[in-house]
């Protein structure tokens, strides 16, 4: 089901990815559907150092999950098509690997957990069996040893009485416990990168707090790199070090989490922050981002956010690139950040500061 892109075999990245675990370059994933082509991911760049954490934030349809699924080569091709780009992981371009080689990466070097743990677990096998199976898939150990490792993994994710838990079936566990099992399974092969796609969206707040703490804790203890995909700015705020905000298939803002959340440099990020309700907003109208996410078949020209942007002006008809702010880590895809737009940028910053003060002040 996964085709191999007939790409030239490149053993080394053309430019330096030194010290990087993951270097996604200009990734484009399109879906060919009846009505045309949906450019779900349209030129995404992401970089991640070993052991570091990156949050990808965006609303539904922003392309954040498709980016992750493309990295894992889990999309069915066709209708999906990786139209362009490279995914350098640990010195290899994942897009050039054979299916066989990719199976060695998936689950082994890169593990993934999903939003709904019930659909990711097989209902007819015990959780211990499933973890042990995952262990044996990637490591050459005996059945007995794999079983022991499953118990160890279950203990590691903080479940009580692991010897008993491994004999239970998924339906006997609560949502939070199932997510723990998924994490146990994902980490059982000591991956270099863990991708967590909305891992707490289906969970209650108190359980969400448990799972986030677990992910944070394990990430630090095992030194696994983490890519956390979520729509919730508050979840990334306390879990990751760097963030990339996505909109309509593109990264629109990146930087350290403190910088992005405390001084957002893209109107979309500011809009997301300002739509978080809370005490300070009581009695005021919530500043909603007007309109809706653009129709994928009728993408606006130029900046994809311009029809919804309160700061839009004529220049937005032209597509902005990711403009550096201060350093290469901090970028925003907005003309406001162009050096010559001083006056407009100042006006924007006044609004952005007010937003930040309202949310975190």
Where in 44-63 is the site for other proteins (CB under 8 A)?
A: 45-52, 54, 59-60
CB of residue 263 to other proteins, shortest distance in Å: 9
From candidates 98, 119, 234, 342, binder to other proteins by CB under 8 A: 234
Asked if 187 and 153 touch (Cβ cutoff 8 Å), the reply is yes
Nearer to other proteins, 69 or 235 (CB): 235
Site for other proteins in 259-298 (CB under 8 A): 259, 261-262, 271-273, 275-290, 292-293
**CA 237, CA 344: separation in Å to the nearest integer?**
28
Site for other proteins in 156-195 (CB under 8 A): 174, 176-177
**CA 260, CA 77: separation in Å to the nearest integer?**
35
Omega prior to 25 cis, within 30 of 0:
no
**CA 152, CA 131: separation in Å to the nearest integer?**
10
Nearer to other proteins, 41 or 257 (CB): 257
From candidates 111, 235, 309, 334, binder to other proteins by CB under 8 A: 235
Nearer to other proteins, 308 or 345 (CB): 308
Instruction: Compute how many other C-beta atoms are within 10 angstroms of the C-beta atom of residue 221.
Output: 10
Q: Of 102-110, 125-133, 183-191, 232-240, which part binds other proteins (CB under 8 A)?
A: 232-240
Asked if 269 and 245 touch (Cβ cutoff 8 Å), the reply is yes
CB of residue 20 to other proteins, shortest distance in Å: 8
Nearer to other proteins, 294 or 302 (CB): 294
From candidates 228, 257, 303, 325, binder to other proteins by CB under 8 A: 257
Q: Which residues pair with 86 in a beta bridge?
A: 25
CB of residue 139 to other proteins, shortest distance in Å: 26
DSSP 240-303: -SEEEEEETTEEEEEEEHHHHHHS--SHHHHHHHHT---GGGTTS---PPPS-PPPTTSPPSSS
Half-sphere exposure of 320 (CA within 13 A, CB side): 26
Residue whose entry in the numeric block shows the structure tokens 């609004």: 351
Nearer to other proteins, 108 or 287 (CB): 287
Q: Please tell me the count of residues contacting other proteins according to CB under 8 A.
A: 78
**CA 318, CA 314: separation in Å to the nearest integer?**
8
CB of residue 66 to other proteins, shortest distance in Å: 16
Site for other proteins contains 213 (CB under 8 A) = yes
CB of residue 200 to other proteins, shortest distance in Å: 9
Site for other proteins in 11-40 (CB under 8 A): 19-20, 23, 25
Nearer to other proteins, 40 or 134 (CB): 40
Q: Which helix (H) or strand (E) element contains residue 329?
A: strand 327-332
Q: Of 1-9, 138-146, 203-211, 296-304, which part binds other proteins (CB under 8 A)?
A: 203-211
**φ and ψ of 332, to 5 deg:** -140, 140
**φ and ψ of 58, to 5 deg:** 180, 165
């Amino acid at each position: 089901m996964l085709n191999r892109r007939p790409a030239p075999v490149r053993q080394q990245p053309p430019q330096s990815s030194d010290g990087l675990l993951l270097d996604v370059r200009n990734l484009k994933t399109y879906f060919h559907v009846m009505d045309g082509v949906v450019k779900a991911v349209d030129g995404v760049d992401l970089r991640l150092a070993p052991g570091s954490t990156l949050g990808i934030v965006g609303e539904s349809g922003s392309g954040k999950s498709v980016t992750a699924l493309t990295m894992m080569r889990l999309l069915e091709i066709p209708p999906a098509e990786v139209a362009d780009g490279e995914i350098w992981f640990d010195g290899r371009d994942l897009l050039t690997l054979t299916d066989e080689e990719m199976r060695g990466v998936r689950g082994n070097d890169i593990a993934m957990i999903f939003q709904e743990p019930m659909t990711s677990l097989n209902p007819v096998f015990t959780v211990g069996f499933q973890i042990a199976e995952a262990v044996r898939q990637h490591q050459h150990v005996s059945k007995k040893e794999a079983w022991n490792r499953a118990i160890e993994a279950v203990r590691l994710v903080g479940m009580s009485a692991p010897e008993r838990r491994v004999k239970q079936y998924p339906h006997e566990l609560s949502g939070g416990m199932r997510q723990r099992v998924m994490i146990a399974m994902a980490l059982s092969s000591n991956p270099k990168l863990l991708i967590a796609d909305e891992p707490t969206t289906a969970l209650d707040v108190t359980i969400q707090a448990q799972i986030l703490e677990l992910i944070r804790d394990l990430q630090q203890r095992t030194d696994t790199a983490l890519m956390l995909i979520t729509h919730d700015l508050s979840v990334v705020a306390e879990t990751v070090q760097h963030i990339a905000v996505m909109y309509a298939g593109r990264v629109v803002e990146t930087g350290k989490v403190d910088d992005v959340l405390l001084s957002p440099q893209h109107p979309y990020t500011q809009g997301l922050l300002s739509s978080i309700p809370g005490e300070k907003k009581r009695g005021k109208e919530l500043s909603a981002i007007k309109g809706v996410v653009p129709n994928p078949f009728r993408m606006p020209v130029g900046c994809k956010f311009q029809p919804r942007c309160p700061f839009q002006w004529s220049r937005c008809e032209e597509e902005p690139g990711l403009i550096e702010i201060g350093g290469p880590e901090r970028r925003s895809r907005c003309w406001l950040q162009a050096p010559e737009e001083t006056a407009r940028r100042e006006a924007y910053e006044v609004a952005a500061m007010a937003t930040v003060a309202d949310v975190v002040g």
